[in-house]
Amino acid sequence: MRRPRVVGLVVLGVAVLVAGLPLLRGPIELPVTQHHLLHAALLVGAALAGVLCGRRDALRRASPAWIVLAMIAPILAMLLMWPSAYSFFEQHPAGHAFEHVGIVACGFLAGFAGERFAAGVGWATGGSAVLMALLAAFGFGVAPPTAVPIAAVAEPSLQPGASGRRNTGASSPAQPSHGAMIYATNCAVCHGTAGEGVSGPSLKDERTRKNLRQTIEWIENPAPPMPKFYPAVLTAADVRAVATYVQTL
Ligand code: HEC
């Protein structure tokens, strides 16, 4: 009876140590997917520790409160991985470590409370906490782009048929280019207003990685979690304009 609990506590200790890594490493820049996969690994350890520690005497009656806790914990873990807070945490090692400890705590609680409720339940609830991180890694729930098309529609120069160049162009040179405006509306959330990178990678010196044609191809056919704007939101001309702008960052 004691052995699993000791193993569980050791696993928990390792998870907490790994969670604290940002304190040693400073600001960490990782692709979003990799980062969420690391969160998933943290959660595997934490949930496993929770399950091992949570084992209880089958004879004692379980309190229903455990199952409630076990269901709330994965949701809390998901909220902690919410991307709007993500870039802030990434730049602040202490906040980042704190976020990780929160993730570990949620994973542990999911496994522990589930297992307290009934043998076997901890595997399911702990597993669902891990699933949250995996879903985040593959782009579900990451920076929902829903607000973006609405903003683009409100921008008359982005509507097909309307000539953005005539509205924004030569008459006043201080106006940002069509491409810059598309960038500010659709791309800056993830790539930063100056292309410095937020939840998406930095686009500075993109021309050293991709030429104009490759940049256009990428925007027309991006890999998740980057959303696909073409052809629903951006026309081919828009894509070309924004790609040209990206090449200047
Ligand atoms: C929801 C966030 C998000 C939005 C909005 C977004 N991107 Fe991205 N973008 C990403 C992510 C994440 C990647 C990295 C994908 C990968 O690693 O495969 C990426 C990659 C890229 C790349 C390739 C970088 C490289 O060389 O590896 C380019 C170019 C790019 N985005 C341009 C844009 C443009 C232009 C827009 C606006 C029309 C835009 N992105 C909007 C998230 C976003």
Residue 171 has a pLDDT of 43
**Probe residue for ligand 1, chosen from 82, 178, 182, 190 as the CB with the greatest number of ligand atoms within 8 Å:** 190
Q: What is the pLDDT of residues 166-203, one digit of tens each?
A: 444 444 445 678 999 999 999 999 999 999 999 999 99
Burial label for 172, CB within 10 Å (0-12, 13-18, 19+), is exposed
Q: Is 143 in the pocket of ligand 1 (CB under 6 A)?
A: yes
Single out the residue of 68, 11, 72 nearest to residue 43, CA to CA. 11
pLDDT at 160: 47
For ligand 1, whether the C-beta of 206 sits within 6 Å is: yes
Question: Which protein residue's CA is at the shortest distance from atom 17 of ligand 1?
Answer: 31
**What's the Rg (C-alpha) of the chain?**
23
**Atom of ligand 1 at shortest distance to CA of 183?**
37
Q: How far apart are CA 133 and CA 175, in angstroms?
A: 42
Nearest-atom number in ligand 1 for the CA of 225 is 12
Q: Which atom of ligand 1 is nearest to the CA of 32?
A: 12
Atom of ligand 1 nearest to the CA of 209: 26
Nearest Cα residue to atom 41 of ligand 1: 187
Distance from the alpha carbon of residue 196 to the mean position of ligand 1, in angstroms: 12
Give me the pLDDT at residue 28, please. 61
Domain ranges in the chain? Answer: 2-137, 147-246
Low-confidence ranges of the chain (pLDDT < 70): 1-2, 26-32, 57-60, 82-91, 139-175
The protein residue whose alpha carbon is closest to atom 12 in ligand 1 is: 200
Q: Evaluate whether 47 touches 111 at the Cβ level (below 8 Å).
A: yes
Overall pTM surpassing 0.75 (yes/no): no
How many whole angstroms separate alpha carbon 115 and alpha carbon 110? 8
Q: What burial class does residue 74 get, using C-beta atoms within 10 Å of its C-beta: 0-12 exposed, 13-18 middle, 19+ buried?
A: buried
- Nearest residue by C-alpha to atom 37 in ligand 1: 187
Query: Which of 187, 202, 220 best tests ligand 1's pocket when mutated (most atoms within 8 Å of CB)?
Result: 187
pLDDT of residue 145: 40
**Superfamily (CATH) of domain 147-246:** Cytochrome c-like domain (1.10.760.10)
